[in-house]
Structure 1
Amino acid sequence: MLHSPDIKLFDGTPLSVLDLAPITEGSTATESFKNSVELARTVESFGFNRYWLAEHHNMPGIASSATSVLIGHIAGSTKSIRVGAGGIMLPNHATLVIAEQFGTLESLYPDRIDLGLGRAPGSDQATAYALRRTLNRGAEEFPQQVEELEEYFHGTARVRAIPGEGLNIPIWLLGSSDFSARLAAYKGFPFSFASHFAPQYTIPAIQLYKNNFRPSKTLDRPYVMVGVNVIAADTDEKAAWLATSQQQQFLDLIRNMPSQLKPPVDNMDEIWSPLEKASVERTLDARSTIVGRPDYVREKLREFIKETEADEIIVNSQIFDPKDRVHSYEILAEMLV
């Protein structure tokens, strides 16, 4: 069954962390990994529930491309917090390899590993081809791959995944539209929605999942975790300034020029056009991107939880200075009861 957290936020909603392992401008992946370890240890001490890392490729500002390796590093550097993938982009991989990798992780760190699965490439088509050597296998085969993965863990596949076979590794489906919501409901899996970059689809996807959910050996009722961007600081002005790093990151993606995470700026209007500003603000919607002082963040998180009826919240905080990032989560930790 799904892990039941002890740490609660507000009315009983646990809080978790999504770390994109940012490589800040002028730094390296080595420094990013050190920062991730420090953050993981800190939020573990605060009582956060899980620490997830995401698979991205060909992205100068994201260091978590070898996601399984980094999960092992974080799990080995912490003691009790659940560590997992948010997520593994399954079409990029041979399913057996993922079963073996996560079987190894679960064997090393029992009852602490989560396997979140996505069907997007996590990059562009050229990168997807470099990963797969063919584009014949795509997102449309994702349900079949999920079935294969279950068979490896259950020991019913023709080929045995060792380690992996017989282990209880929670499988989550991740989504930014309705496809994975439907599949998660059909399979009876927990579902995590990427509201932090697809806010307009959040409520429809959650409702679709809940309305079509079929109980399984994993879950007897729907379980939804929703992503939210939070940039908290002691003042609204400081938080808004810190948030310009994330705004620049999405602006660079719109321009098809991904870069390292840039330092904050005083005036974004000197950088983006009105059209670009509207596009970034559409992605970083005010409901699922919460920027401000502690009491404002608390109020907006309450509203977000009430609107989504989420069972769990996973927080992404793209902040340039590691100390400011830790402080943002420290502010959130004060809301844990």
Structure 2
Amino acid sequence: MHLSILDQVPIPKGQTASETLLQSAELAKLAEQWGYKRYWFAEHHSTKGLASTAPEIMMAHIAARTRTIRVGSGGVLLPQYSPFKVAETFLQLEALYPGRIDLGVGRSPGGTMKTRLALTDSIKKSMTQYPRQLLDLTYYLSGSLPSDHPYYGIKASPSVPSPPPVWELGLGENSALQAASLGIGYVFGHFIHPDRGQEAYKAYYSNFAPSPLLKQPAGITAIFVICGESDEHAAELALSQDLWLLRVEKGLDSRIPSLEEAHAYSFSQADREKIKINRKRMVIGSSQTVKRQLESLAERYQTNEFMVLTNLHSFEERKKSYEKLADIFL
């Protein structure tokens, strides 16, 4: 089993963005010591609760402070950007840190329509262009623009011995089929929508076509995990994440609340039902429980790598959870 980390850089209430970013650097160095394979950064905009707005900058920051762990984006919001610019940014990173860069991309709009327009400087870019953009991205990275392409003759630079691998982030069969047809890696977002994982991976593995970027299919499952001293301890820790998710989904305060605030919060019956649904996006429990559930999920999905999110208010508890998880598998 391989383990990786997806860091949204969640800001706990009472803490600044700068303090949280320092903790991400500490966690990345610890993750390398514990044997984690990758450390990726998400991309979120116009929110006060998540401090990772520019994964490329965070990647360079972390790669400079570590030696072996792969660093990546989870993921670049490709519909808002130029595939050529994204390709050159990641080739630049690959030239700086050879063999350690991953390019994860997704079709998420990145926020409200107003946020999307701010990202594109008021250019209304259609989400339907995403498949073409992703194809162009693979062309630029592999130096294989076809002769009938409007930008044929352009070379993305700098030149590197091997381009960084591309991973598509998705939630079902459509994204899985797209990743398979392009011959790139696939990351299933179990932590967002857990219901279509088995179907998505079946579609991906059955239809994968080798490419200059990837010869064999490769799948990663992104999932919330909280590993505690016992099932009861883990469930207690999860309360702050439960309340955080409720508020994020309602468009409210996106900072991580403390356990004290979560205990004092008056959950409605609808809130409790939503928490029950959200818990399907997570694995929560003791080392034994987490091991059993992740192994079962790995068997069901036919994948051997989990990319873990643990969004707790306490940084110490967050570190302990990641360390206990590493002790199980690494």
TM-score, scaled to structure 1 = 0.90
Please say if residues 77 and 110 of structure 2, whose CA atoms lie closer than 8 Å, have aligned partners that are also in contact: yes
Matched, 1:326 2:319: yes
Q: Which amino acid aligns with 1:315?
A: V
Indicate how the Cα distance of structure 1 residues 218 and 101 shifts in structure 2: closer, same or farther if over 3 A, else same: closer
Match of 2:304 in 1: 311
Matched, 1:252 2:252: no
Please say if residues 81 and 120 of structure 2, whose CA atoms lie closer than 8 Å, have aligned partners that are also in contact: yes
Range that drifts further, 32-41 or 241-250: 241-250
Match of 1:71 in 2: 59
Q: Which amino acid aligns with 2:296?
A: E
Q: Which amino acid aligns with 1:228?
A: I
Please say if residues 92 and 158 of structure 2, whose CA atoms lie closer than 8 Å, have aligned partners that are also in contact: yes
Matched, 1:300 2:293: yes
Consecutive unaligned residues in structure 1, runs of 5 or more: 1-12
How far apart, CA to CA, are the structure 2 residues paired with 1:203 and 1:118? 19
Instruction: Give, in angstroms, the shift of residue 18 of structure 1.
Output: 0.9
3-state SS of paired residue (1:86): strand
3-state SS of paired residue (1:115): strand
Matched, 1:129 2:117: yes
Identity of aligned residues (%): 34
Match of 1:235 in 2: 230
Match of 1:45 in 2: 33
How far apart, CA to CA, are the structure 2 residues paired with 1:256 and 1:135? 25
Match of 1:10 in 2: none
Match of 1:6 in 2: none
How far apart, CA to CA, are the structure 2 residues paired with 1:56 and 1:270? 26
Range that drifts further, 252-261 or 163-172: 163-172
Indicate how the Cα distance of structure 1 residues 270 and 28 shifts in structure 2: closer, same or farther if over 3 A, else same: closer
How far apart, CA to CA, are the structure 2 residues paired with 1:41 and 1:228? 21
Match of 2:134 in 1: 146
Indicate how the Cα distance of structure 1 residues 178 and 110 shifts in structure 2: closer, same or farther if over 3 A, else same: same
Consecutive unaligned residues in structure 2, runs of 5 or more: 146-151
Matched, 1:60 2:48: yes
Instruction: Give, in angstroms, the shift of residue 141 of structure 1.
Output: 0.7
Range that drifts further, 49-58 or 264-273: 264-273
Matched, 1:206 2:201: yes
Q: Which amino acid aligns with 1:307?
A: R
Match of 2:80 in 1: 92
Range that drifts further, 21-30 or 127-136: 127-136
How far apart, CA to CA, are the structure 1 residues paired with 2:272 and 2:115? 28
Please say if residues 12 and 255 of structure 2, whose CA atoms lie closer than 8 Å, have aligned partners that are also in contact: yes
How far apart, CA to CA, are the structure 2 residues paired with 1:164 and 1:93? 21
Q: Which amino acid aligns with 1:114?
A: D
Match of 2:190 in 1: 195
How far apart, CA to CA, are the structure 1 residues paired with 2:41 and 2:328? 23
Q: CA RMSD in A?
A: 1.9
